[in-house]
Structure 1
Amino acid sequence: MPEAPEVDALAHFLSERLSGRAVTGVELVEGRAWKTRARPLDEIVGRTVTAVTRHGKHIDLDFDGVHLGIGFGRAGWATWSAAGEPEEDAAPGAAVIARIAFDNGILGITDAGEWLSVQLHVVDAADEVPSVAKLGPDAADPRYSRDMLAAALGRRRKQLKALLQEQETLAGVGNAYSDEILFAARLAPTAHASALSEDDITRLHHALHDTLAAAVLARRGVPIAEQKAAKVASMRVHGRTGEPCPDCGGVIEDIPGTKGGGQWCPSCQTLPASD
């Protein structure tokens, strides 16, 4: 799943290549991804890109007031083929959902999931996309403060891993970075938000900020075809089941109840005293 650092890098990549460029043609390969039936994709043909922005794990292409919203879902991503070059292949196992041709290349939208999760919308403003409208504060925003995190946690009896992935509470964090953030904070993913002490909240805020800030910087400039590999290589605990913990040497394990979808170090990450 692409998360804020990868989608941020993609937004910058596309902004550099598409700003001021006109759409010359479109192809919707998978109609189920199209969510604004009354507004066809070819509404953007002939229009010029004036801005590319990220909203959580979504990208918005602004064509001078007509917006194409792209939600990558669980396994969506993009390809870019410069004009005059062979079309870039989708990642192994991925299907092409749509192609958008510009005067300098082709943007492909892909999905590698077992079920389709990419969503495409043509709207008049980015927040007219329902999933964008309900997003909480952006997790990768340097202005996201400790007080904002404390307010989001409240006294909720919800496990931290699930809460960090709740886009209405905190936009941009998914499965992988939630594991990395909680490892850095030394907090068990099964701990409840309501059990955190003031020190725990401070530590979690530092981990959230430092983990995402480092990842955003690390992903910038990485070719979009290599983003997934770069993300996987950077993980300290996520996807490392059975490997030694990079800090204590203990064994990385699957988080109970995740069916292998999340990982932690039981030796390093503890439950709050009141949980």
Structure 2
Amino acid sequence: MPELPEITALAADLGERLGGSPVERLDITSFAALKTFDPPVSALAGQSVGAVDHHGKFLDIEIGELHLVLHLARAGWIRWRYEAPQASARPGGRPGKGPLAARLVLDGGSGIDITEAGTKKSLAIYLVRDPAEVPGIARLGPDPLSDDFTPERFEEILRAAGRSQIKGVLRNQSILAGIGNAYSDEILHVARMSPFKPAAMSSEEAARLYDAMRSTLRDAIARAEGLHASELKKEKKSGLRVHGRTGEECPVCGDIVRQVIYSDSTFQYCPTCQTGGKPLADRVLSRLLK
């Protein structure tokens, strides 16, 4: 799933490609992906693309006075298309089959294809007059890289989370916007903290985690700056230190990166750097190893 660094770079790339272009139409192939009905997608015809922004993990494409908001979920992505699409993407096929979920066609035929791999379809498309109408955006917590997000505010958030595991707190979009499974692993590794550590921690620990969070996200954004959408997944994977690297050596201490498997996700960590050398129990009901 694209997180704050990739969404930031994706918004910048799309802004350069789409900005100022008139829209011919928006074709919806996966009708389950479209979560709104008013205004209709036909209202985009003839309108021009303005700014492309993001809110947490949500992409926001301004078209005329409307906003095309995309949440790419776990397996969604955007592909730039230079040429006009064929009359039918899948001749004889049924809507909703295949990876194509929607297609934004600009005047002249170029545009973007919004795709989702796999059989579990979670990608969401909204056409709204105000981004705040999207429930997921309305619930978002603060941007961890905003200028007004201070160490003191972060410590207040952690204190309010109490005994909740810090891994879950970092990933909770209602608490902090834009951090997902991958970068929460990376942040905790940099901070040298167990994923199961309670969120309420000392001021010194909170400051260390704050610095790790901001530096990790900023470094990832810097690496992704200027890359096209097609290059972002590869860059993200190459820049990760522990996430997705089970069985490999930790780049800091040389220990073997371990993982914990949950019902629908996994996370990775380094025992030496983060848990005092103790492996975490690899089951859903894992307890904090103090």
TM over 0.5, shorter chain: yes
Unmatched 5+ stretches in structure 2: 90-97, 277-287
**Alignment pair present for 1:182 and 2:188:** yes
Moved over 2 A (4+): 37-40, 82-86, 139-144, 255-260
Separation (CA, whole Å) in 2 of partners of 1:29 and 1:84:
16
Secondary structure (helix, strand or coil) at the match of 2:266 reads coil
Contact 1:59 1:71 in 2 (8 A): yes
**Alignment pair present for 1:100 and 2:104:** yes
- How far is the alpha carbon of 1:147 from its aligned partner? 1.3
- Residue aligning to 1:26: 26
What number of residue pairs does the alignment pair up?
A: 267
C-alpha change, 1:197 and 1:126, in structure 2 (3 Å) is same
Separation (CA, whole Å) in 2 of partners of 1:253 and 1:274:
14
- Aligned ranges 1:166-205 → 2 under 5 Å: 166-194=172-200, 196-205=201-210
Separation (CA, whole Å) in 2 of partners of 1:185 and 1:255:
19
- How far is the alpha carbon of 1:84 from its aligned partner? 6.7
What is the letter of the counterpart of residue 160 of structure 1? I
- How far is the alpha carbon of 1:113 from its aligned partner? 4.1
- Residue aligning to 1:214: 219
C-alpha change, 1:9 and 1:186, in structure 2 (3 Å) is same
What is the letter of the counterpart of residue 203 of structure 1? R
Instruction: State percent identity of aligned pairs.
Output: 38
The TM-score normalised by the length of structure 2 is: 0.86
Secondary structure (helix, strand or coil) at the match of 1:250 reads coil
CA offsets, 1:163-200, max 9 Å, x none? 10100000000010000000000000011102x11111
C-alpha change, 1:236 and 1:274, in structure 2 (3 Å) is closer
Contact 1:26 1:101 in 2 (8 A): yes
Separation (CA, whole Å) in 1 of partners of 2:44 and 2:101:
17
**Alignment pair present for 1:234 and 2:239:** yes
Secondary structure (helix, strand or coil) at the match of 1:255 reads strand
1:111 corresponds, among 98, 102, 116, to: 116
- How far is the alpha carbon of 1:62 from its aligned partner? 1.2
Q: Flag the structure with larger Rg.
A: 2
Secondary structure (helix, strand or coil) at the match of 1:193 reads coil
Separation (CA, whole Å) in 2 of partners of 1:143 and 1:27:
39
C-alpha change, 1:31 and 1:151, in structure 2 (3 Å) is same
C-alpha change, 1:146 and 1:258, in structure 2 (3 Å) is farther
- How far is the alpha carbon of 1:130 from its aligned partner? 0.8
Secondary structure (helix, strand or coil) at the match of 2:7 reads helix
C-alpha change, 1:263 and 1:18, in structure 2 (3 Å) is same
What is the letter of the counterpart of residue 62 of structure 2? D
